[in-house]
Copies of this chain bind each other. A is one copy, B any other.
Amino acid sequence: MSDQTLSPAATHPGRDAGDNRSFIDDFVELSAFGATPAGGVERQAATAEDGEMRSWLAAWLDRNGFTVEFDRVGNMFGLREFAPGAPWLLAGSHLDSQPRGGKYDGAYGVLAAAHALHRVVRGHETAGTVPGFNFAVVNWFNEEGSRFKPSMMGSGVFTGKIPLEKALTTTDVTGVSVGEALGAIGSLGAGDAFGDGTGRQVGAYAEIHIEQGRELDKSGIVLGLVDSTWGANKYEIAVTGAQSHTGATAIADRQDALYGAALVVVALRELADRFGEDLHTSCGQLTVYPNSPVVVAREVYLHLDLRSPSDDLLDEADALLRRRFAEIEVQADVQIERRFAHTWKGQQYQSEGVDLAAQVVTDLGVSSMKVQTRAGHDSTNMKDTVPTVMLFVPSVDGVSHAENEYTTDEDLCTGVDVLTEVLHRMAGGALS
């Protein structure tokens, strides 16, 4: 493909003829880490594959004039300081993936931020100007939350929402802690990178990500301006019954924890069907004990996920679910314990950031629409502390958390162009 066909909108400062080719080449290299035969990637947080990818990014940052630092929860920064004491403009996303996940989710945003900030810097160097911000690329630790719960862990600690010690002592199913796993891949820093005592303050944040839904794709629109995020209730559920014989024990005597859990999973879908597209419900994780073919299960653990643009609807769904749990306890003769694992309210991104991004896409001639995000992102945390811009590019058929996730090279490159211009204007004080 020619550079020209990739990006018709290359009017911003720092644009070079080879930028698109360079970005796509780097993205292809990056996508090799943890690559799966079906075209996806598997590099869960702080695994060897995550570590190798971090080494690749560190080499890229170093080669392009950024200094690499890790903070105490494994967030990875590429720092480019121009004006000591000036605020820092951060841009990034995450390199970790789901098991058999897609290659665009997170990784695209980190590489896009690195290329975009590199172009912004180059623009200033070419023009001989000094920006009002210092710049940092960020690769947030464990956005996915598949190996270590909860998700968005690195940005959660960074923004003070999750205590550092709690994050570091979180273990995976094999008992390995976050602290141990980060140490093993050489990603555990000795101190903070930003905030009190570091002499560095974050002034603003920007992130670009594939849309995890099909709004953009079905509308044929290239850029999504994220103006709000759905609220989410994530629950950990324990269903307790009593172990018995699958063949011999009379049905009336059974306290089948798996039957109870199955009723919970079915109830979740019935809840979604009741509220239509304003409620998403799901159970992605369900673990049975003892999980033997001829033993009625004594315990089942489930991780439930309810999301909605309406906090009221989420409260109503929660109440209905609790009532249904009480019925299931009777129906299956089991106990159900429920606790919130992670919860956030539906929230707005700052309108100034949305307006800035809207102006940029208009100026660059890129089609755009306002979109909501149903998924959480690191920007969901960052927007609560600093001015933040969140952008989406389309994902074909809305595929997400799957190996066949796909975004065209053209859309990827347009996204980098838009992010570059947004960061350029933010560095010029557009959101200050």
Chain A residues at the B interface, C-beta cutoff of 8 Å: 98-101, 144-146, 149, 151, 212-214, 230, 232, 234, 242-254, 256, 258-259, 261-266, 269, 272-273, 277, 280-288, 290-298, 303, 305, 307, 341, 373-376, 398-403
Contact = CB atoms under 8 A, between A and B. Distances in A.
Contact of A258 (B212, B246, B265, B295): B265
Task: Among A98, A242, A290, A297, find the residue whose CB has the most chain B CB atoms closer than 10 A.
Answer: A290
Given A214-B253, A234-B293, 9 more contacts: A146-B292, A212-B245, A244-B401, A247-B282, A251-B272, A251-B281, A252-B277, A253-B398, A285-B291
Contacts of A100: 243, 290, 298
Contact of A146 (B252, B261, B294, B341): B294
Nearest to A267: B262
Contacts of A243: 98, 100, 401-403
Contacts of A214: 250, 253
B213 A248 contact: yes
A404 to B, nearest CB: 8
A42 to B, nearest CB: 9
A214 B250 CA distance: 8
A193 to B, nearest CB: 27
B277 A250 contact: yes
Contacts of A244: 399-402
23 contacts: A98-B243, A98-B290, A100-B290, A101-B295, A146-B292, A212-B247, A234-B293, A243-B403, A245-B401, A247-B305, A248-B280, A249-B280, A249-B401, A251-B280, A252-B277, A259-B265, A262-B262, A262-B265, A266-B266, A284-B296, A285-B293, A293-B305, A294-B375
